[in-house]
């Protein structure tokens, strides 16, 4: 039994023109059995920063709760929200603390930094950051996602086109993965608004 494939997940984040999109599947399973079809894998840290956590669901929940703890204290002390780059460093540090007994999660971080510049990154379960200019993927469907994103991605897409691209990449990739799917959850974030949309795909 592979621990990273116990619950099943698919996550992707993509950069557009002054905006970003972060999307996930909605399945929560226990190996071959599907338990929930409305599982939230992406959480908001603040209005311009989103975190998606793939991998073992219990570790994803605990890690998220710990990050909220740290971010809340940061907000109270510094009287401002955390920048995405700073948050990514925090996540990396927290994951590395557990170097010899890690959280079985792969996070995807997406946010708008200074001057509304989109920032995305992913890291492995012990905090090795991977900054990308175009897209990042995570989860059991990551190999399909890499292929789909690589072929569908274009630079400087507007929010509407970005939404279409991310949705098509996500749905086509999870269709090839039995452990993820049951629809999609897409957030498209611009400096002025956050658009949250649910996708209906193959419900299997």
Partner 1 sequence: MSRRYDSRTTIFSPEGRLYQVEYAMEAIGNAGSAIGLLSKDAVVLVGEKKVTSKLLQTSTSTEKMYKIDDHVACAVAGIMSDANILINTARVQAQRYTFAYQEPMPVEQLVQSLCDTKQGYTQFGGLRPFGVSFLFAGWDKNYGFQLYMSDPSGNYSGWKAAAIGANNQAAQSMLKQDYKDDITREEAVQLALKVLSKTMDSTSLTSEKLELAEVFLTPSGSVKYQVCSPESLSKLLLKFGVTQPATEAS
69 interacts with partner 1 by CB under 8 A: yes
Among 77, 115, 133, 151, binds partner 1 (CB under 8 A): 77
Which residue is listed with tokens 């993820």? 180
Beta bridge partners of 110: 50, 120
Q: How far is the CB of 24 from partner 1 (least distance, A)?
A: 21
For the bound state, the minimum distance from the C-beta of residue 69 to partner 1, rounded and expressed in Å, comes to 5
Is 72 a binder of partner 1 (CB under 8 A)? yes
Cα of first residue to Cα of last residue in the chain, in angstroms, is 22
Residue 47, interface with partner 1 (CB under 8 A)?
no
Q: Check: CB of residue 82 under 8 Å from CB of residue 109.
A: no
Q: Is 194 in the site for partner 1 (CB under 8 A)?
A: no
Verify binding: residue 58, partner 1, rule CB under 8 A: no
66 binds partner 1, rule: CB under 8 A: yes
Q: Which of 98, 105, 142 is nearest to 3 (CA)?
A: 105
Binding-site residue total for partner 1 (CB under 8 A)? 9
Compute the distance between CA of residue 44 and CA of residue 71 in angstroms, rounded to an integer. Answer: 11
Does 35 engage in binding with partner 1 (CB under 8 A)? no
**Residue 79 in contact with partner 1, rule: CB under 8 A:** yes
Would you count residue 73 as binding partner 1 (CB under 8 A)?
yes
C-alpha 70, offset from chain centre: 19
Angle at 51 between CA 79 and CA 70, to 5 degrees: 40
Name the site residues for partner 1 (rule: CB under 8 A): 65-66, 68-69, 72-73, 76-77, 79
């Amino acid at each position: 039994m592979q621990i990273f494939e116990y619950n099943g997940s698919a996550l992707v984040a993509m950069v557009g023109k002054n905006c970003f999109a972060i999307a996930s599947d909605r399945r929560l399973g226990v190996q071959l059995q599907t338990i929930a079809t409305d599982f939230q894998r992406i959480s908001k840290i603040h209005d311009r920063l989103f975190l998606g956590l793939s991998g073992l669901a219990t570790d994803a929940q605990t890690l998220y709760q710990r990050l909220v703890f740290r971010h809340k204290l940061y907000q109270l002390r510094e009287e401002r929200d955390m920048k995405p780059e700073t948050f990514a460093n925090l996540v990396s540090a927290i994951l590395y603390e557990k170097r010899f007994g890690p959280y079985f999660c792969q996070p995807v971080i997406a946010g708008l930094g200074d001057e509304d510049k989109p920032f995305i990154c992913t890291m492995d379960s012990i905090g090795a950051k991977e900054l990308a200019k175009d897209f990042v993927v995570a989860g059991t469907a990551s190999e399909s996602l890499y292929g789909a994103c690589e072929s569908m991605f274009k630079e400087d897409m507007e929010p509407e086109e970005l939404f279409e691209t991310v949705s098509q990449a996500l749905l086509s990739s999870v269709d090839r993965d039995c452990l993820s799917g049951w629809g999609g959850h897409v957030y498209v974030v611009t400096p002025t608004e956050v658009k949250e949309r649910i996708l209906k795909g193959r419900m299997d």
